[in-house]
């Protein structure tokens, strides 16, 4: 017990601050990838074949690429080769590049989650919207997407949960986040190896559990009555 | 809204709907064959025919919910465009009532009716609310205005759907089997609403199995079979003296049941 307490004395602040980084990565990547995912879903249901094709191509490419590769690409190619600089501060630059990587990857999953929601909306809703004179975008915005989001809350929640946990992969993108801290702690404090793992796991459980419960609750509460 | 302005805009000469040599295939099935049809202003045309005769498809081609392979369709003299904004504009002039109502499930009854006028025609909300309440009163569901569609009976939902279509002040109303999904006791309330519309001079194309409505409200019956218009006549003449064998066969089956 004393050993575990001394671990907190040494690394407590670093654990909390790096986990805060995970939450920030998640927050910004969630907003950006949800927006991009919505755009991709719109492309995939649009009446324009080339847009549908582009949307499907995006999803199939990035959904099937390991996240580690995307984030490593950000550091080694975007920064290493092309010197992409999004912030003058070195660490902030990697942080932002990591957000882009997380966004690109998870947008593909958000797109598919939203599209599963679109499939819960009967075709007649779109026909009725077109019949009163709404063209594709207004019909999508006013009639289809509001119902689709409400039908997709559970799968959207799943993608969000995956994103929270996948923020640890940002280590591959040279971001100081919790799994990096964990590795350091393991190196210097192997005497409390298992407690270190459990502590980091509990951090995530504390954040993920409410997200899961909230999305389950909302998916029932907001379900569209038909 | 009074009897003379059921939504018909500038009165142009010529038919409200004209279909010329319209053909459509579903794979090998020739579902519409050289359809020629004109519907005059204020006319009520009832389309009859056995299941699978193409009558619903015909109705749905008129606002291009179903694209056609060749031929032309004109609404008030304007050719139906292929896609895009022009098509949306034309659709706003064609009211449609579906078999399965298709009310916007996440919107209140009032919002269902005001959505088109506000979003498509740019009407002010207060004005749209007033128009919607007039129409909801007319179809007898004004007291349900704040409910969601799923809270209403089928007959009430279909009457709201009629109000929603009327709110666009359409030049013509299409009814695609409007009573086929209704419980028997609710069919009459919807038919009464439609008869009222017909008497006010609305141009209507009605696909239905309700022979009573055809006799009572139709100016003309169009009989379809196997994707073609086989014969058309005034209802009295069609029901008492059908010319084609297929129409005789169709009517014979109705009477024996």
What is the spatial distance between Cα B257 and Cα B255, in angstroms, rounded to a whole number?
5
Q: Do B65 and A224 touch (CB under 8 A)?
A: no
Residues of chain B with pLDDT below 50 are 1-10, 257
The percentage of chain A sitting over the pLDDT mark of 90, rounded to a whole number, equals 88
Q: Is A5 on the interface with B (CB under 8 A)?
A: no
Length of chain A: 226
pLDDT for position A79: 86
Residues A169-198: pLDDT tens digits? 999 888 999 999 999 999 999 999 999 999
What is the spatial distance between Cα A211 and Cα A158, in angstroms, rounded to a whole number?
9
pLDDT for position B11: 53
Q: Is A128 on the interface with B (CB under 8 A)?
A: yes
Residues B180-212: pLDDT tens digits? 999 988 999 999 999 999 999 999 999 999 999
Quote the minimal CA–CA distance from B214 to chain A in Å.
Answer: 24
Non-local (6+) Cβ contacts of B59 within 8 A are B47, B174, B175, B176, B205, B207
What distance, in Å, lies between the first and last C-alpha atoms of chain B?
41
What is the spatial distance between Cα B40 and Cα A127, in angstroms, rounded to a whole number?
26
Q: Binning pLDDT at 50, 70 and 90, where does residue A219 land?
A: very high
Non-local (6+) Cβ contacts of B148 within 8 A are A225, B105, B106, B107, B108, B109
Residues A76-104: pLDDT tens digits? 988 888 888 888 898 999 999 999 999 99
Length of chain B: 257
Q: Do B92 and A133 touch (CB under 8 A)?
A: yes
Residues A54-67: pLDDT tens digits? 999 999 999 999 99
Q: Are A182 and A197 in contact (CB under 8 A)?
A: yes
Structure tokens at A93: 């630059």
Q: Do A225 and B151 touch (CB under 8 A)?
A: yes
- The beta-carbon neighbor of B92 closest among A127, A132, A226 is A132
For chain B, what is the total number of helices (H) and then of strands (E)?
9, 10
Scan residues 180-239 of B and list those with Cβ closer than 8 Å to A: none
- The beta-carbon neighbor of B88 closest among A124, A133, A224 is A133
Chain B positions in Cβ-Cβ contact with residue A224 (cut-off 8 Å): 105-106
pTM above 0.90, yes or no: no
pLDDT, average across residues A114-121:
96
């Amino acid at each position: 017990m004393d050993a575990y307490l001394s671990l907190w004395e040494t690394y407590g602040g670093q654990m909390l601050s790096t986990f805060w980084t995970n939450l920030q990565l998640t927050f910004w990547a969630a907003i950006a990838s949800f927006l991009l995912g919505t755009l991709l879903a719109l492309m995939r249901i649009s009446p324009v074949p080339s847009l549908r094709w582009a949307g499907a191509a995006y999803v199939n490419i990035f959904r099937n690429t390991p996240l580690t590769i995307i984030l490593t690409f950000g550091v080694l190619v975007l920064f290493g080769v092309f010197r992409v600089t999004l912030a003058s501060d070195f660490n902030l630059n990697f942080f932002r590049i990591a957000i882009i990587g997380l966004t690109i990857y998870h947008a593909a999953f958000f797109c598919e989650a939203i599209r599963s929601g679109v499939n819960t909306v009967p075709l007649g809703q779109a026909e009725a919207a077109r019949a009163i004179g709404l063209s594709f975008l207004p019909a999508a915005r006013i009639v289809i997407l509001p119902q689709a989001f409400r039908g997709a809350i559970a799968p959207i929640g799943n993608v969000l949960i995956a994103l929270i946990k996948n923020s640890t992969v940002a280590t591959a993108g040279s971001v100081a986040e919790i799994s990096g801290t964990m590795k350091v702690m393991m190196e210097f404090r192997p005497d409390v190896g298992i407690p270190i793992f459990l502590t980091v796991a509990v951090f995530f459980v504390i954040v993920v559990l409410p997200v899961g419960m909230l999305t389950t609750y909302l998916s029932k509460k907001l379900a569209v009555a038909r | 809204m009074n009897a003379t302005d059921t939504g018909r805009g500038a009165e142009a000469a010529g038919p409200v709907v004209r279909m010329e040599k319209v053909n459509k295939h579903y794979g090998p099935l020739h579902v519409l064959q050289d359809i020629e049809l004109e519907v005059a202003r204020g006319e009520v045309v009832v389309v009859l025919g056995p299941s699978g005769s193409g009558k619903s498809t015909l109705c749905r081609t008129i606002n291009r919910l179903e694209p056609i392979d060749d031929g032309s369709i004109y609404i008030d003299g304007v050719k139906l465009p292929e896609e895009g904004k022009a098509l949306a504009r034309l659709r706003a002039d064609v009211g449609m009532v579906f078999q399965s109502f298709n009310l916007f499930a996440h919107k209140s009854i009032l919002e269902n009716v005001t959505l088109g006028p506000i979003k498509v025609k740019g009407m002010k909300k207060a004005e749209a609310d007033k128009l919607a309440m007039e129409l909801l009163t007319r179809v007898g569901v004004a007291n349900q205005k704040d409910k969601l569609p799923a809270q209403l009976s089928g007959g009430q939902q279909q009457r709201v759907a009629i109000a929603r279509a009327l709110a666009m002040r359409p030049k013509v109303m299409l009814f695609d089997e409007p009573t086929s999904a209704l419980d028997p006791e609710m069919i009459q309330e919807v038919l009464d609403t439609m008869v009222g519309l017909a008497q006010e001079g609305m141009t209507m194309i009605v696909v239905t199995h309700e022979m009573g409505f055809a006799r009572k409200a139709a100016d003309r019956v169009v009989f379809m079979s196997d994707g073609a218009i086989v014969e058309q006549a005034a209802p009295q003449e069609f029901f008492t003296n059908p010319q084609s064998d297929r129409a005789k066969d169709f009517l014979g089956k109705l009477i024996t049941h």
